[in-house]
Amino acid sequence: MLSFECDYNRGAHGKVIEHLIETNMEPLPGYGEDIYSKRAKEKIREACHCPEAEVYFLAGGTQTNQVVIDSLLTKYEGVIAADTGHINVHEAGAIEFTGHKVLAIPHVNGKLMAADVRSYLEKFYDDTTHEHMVFPGMVYISHPTEYGTLYSMDELKDLSHLCREYDIPLFMDGARLGYGLMVKDTLLTLPDIAKLCDVFYIGGTKVGALCGEAVVFTHGNAPKHFVTMIKQHGALTAKGRLLGVQFDALFTDDLYFKISRNAIAMAEVLKRIFREKGYEFFIDSPTNQIFIVLENEKMKALAKEVTFSFWERKDEDHTVVRFATSWATTLEEIKELEKLL
């Protein structure tokens, strides 16, 4: 069975596994105090051109969103997100679980537009009863978004300036950050993101690691006693080496970027195939997630030989599905899929 249902269906990249093997029997301190975690943090600071960044490793995306948002928000604050944002839809209420409201704003192609956020903020402070409302205390975006779309440099700058104007942090969920960075036409580099965001994370789980996300606080703004808060959320990895060693490998010789580029290259090939064969695209995504409208009959037939994701019903006869490439996708797999299409 061909497998295109997601970008986390394989283990880890070979070099990541190798590094785990070669360090496996070294006695190392726990909780991220090991040398590989420290080394990985240093490499990430360098890749971000952000020597003052504070880097922490967490195991998964929802966990990271939950811990970062809860730790940065004051108790009476909520987090602004696109209504399609992962935290608003697909995290089983992990943010509300910590007592905070997700303040959902209509999305534009999965993105949050600065103008809409500004209008929300202005309306909030304009409202004479806003002391009875949830204060907007952070802006959450994902890049790439849940629709595989990307913020342009200008769009991100606008959000960044707006957040600084209102003195609330801009947090980027980078669960698929590598795939966003390696798109040909994007101008946004990792250092740009470090400059424009107050906190973001570099996703490992979906980009070559067994697990792991690297949270980057960009300007000395890590919450006080952040390790304690990670522990309090049940999110502190005892063998922190598991995360540190993997990121050490991913940020050696640009591995993270090279393998991300593979996903994009494979997606480009696949999109060309879909286009040539006349498939309808649901949305124009430049990254590794491809959203296609299928007739239900066609969908059922295909599903016998290849896995993909249900996205949403379009109408009675059509369904939107998602094909995802990843760091591990090979040209052979694409070719096989082509035959099936």
Q: Among residue numbers 106 through 165, which ones bind a second copy (CB under 8 A)?
A: 126-129, 131-135
Instruction: Establish whether the linkage from the previous residue to 144 is cis, with ω within 30° of 0.
Output: yes
User: Which residue's CB is nearer to a second copy, number 141 or number 211?
Assistant: 211
The answer to whether residue 76 forms part of the interface with a second copy (CB under 8 A) is yes
The answer to whether residue 313 forms part of the interface with a second copy (CB under 8 A) is yes
User: Which residue's CB is nearer to a second copy, number 27 or number 51?
Assistant: 27
Among the residue ranges 69-77, 214-222, 261-269, 279-287, the one whose residues contact a second copy (CB under 8 A): 69-77
Near a second copy by CB under 8 A: residue from 49, 99, 272, 340: 99
Near a second copy by CB under 8 A: residue from 51, 74, 315, 332: 74
- Per-residue CA distances from 320 to 1, 66, 137, 290, 329 (Å): 21, 29, 34, 10, 22
Q: How many residues bind a second copy (CB under 8 A)?
A: 84
The answer to whether residue 238 forms part of the interface with a second copy (CB under 8 A) is yes
The residues in 314-333 that bind a second copy, with binding defined as CB under 8 A, are: 328
Contacts 24+ apart (CB under 8 A), 118-123: 118/162, 120/80, 121/162, 121/166
How far apart (Å, rounded) are the C-alpha atoms in residues 301 and 128? Answer: 57
User: Which residue's CB is nearer to a second copy, number 235 or number 341?
Assistant: 235
Complete DSSP assignment for 142-193: ESS-TTS----HHHHHHHHHHHHHHT--EEEE-TTHHHHHT-TT----HHHH
Near a second copy by CB under 8 A: residue from 44, 57, 91, 324: 91
On whether the CB atoms of residues 303 and 4 are closer than 8 A, the answer is no
On whether the CB atoms of residues 20 and 245 are closer than 8 A, the answer is yes
User: Which residue's CB is nearer to a second copy, number 71 or number 289?
Assistant: 71
The residues in 242-281 that bind a second copy, with binding defined as CB under 8 A, are: 242
The answer to whether residue 300 forms part of the interface with a second copy (CB under 8 A) is no
The residues in 6-45 that bind a second copy, with binding defined as CB under 8 A, are: 6, 8-12, 14, 17, 20-21, 23-30
Q: Output phi, psi for 32, to 5 deg.
A: 85, 10
Q: Output phi, psi for 57, to 5 deg.
A: -110, 135
Among the residue ranges 108-116, 186-194, 224-232, 259-267, the one whose residues contact a second copy (CB under 8 A): 224-232
The answer to whether residue 220 forms part of the interface with a second copy (CB under 8 A) is no
User: Which residue's CB is nearer to a second copy, number 231 or number 275?
Assistant: 231
User: Which residue's CB is nearer to a second copy, number 97 or number 187?
Assistant: 97
How far apart (Å, rounded) are the C-alpha atoms in residues 250 and 188? Answer: 20
Among the residue ranges 64-72, 157-165, 259-267, 285-293, the one whose residues contact a second copy (CB under 8 A): 64-72
Q: Identify the residue whose tokens are 């996205």.
A: 311
User: Which residue's CB is nearer to a second copy, number 158 or number 173?
Assistant: 173
* Tokens representing residue 316 in the block: 């009675």
How far apart (Å, rounded) are the C-alpha atoms in residues 136 and 182? Answer: 32
User: Which residue's CB is nearer to a second copy, number 13 or number 261?
Assistant: 13
Q: Cα–Cα–Cα angle for 199, 202, 207, nearest 5°?
A: 165
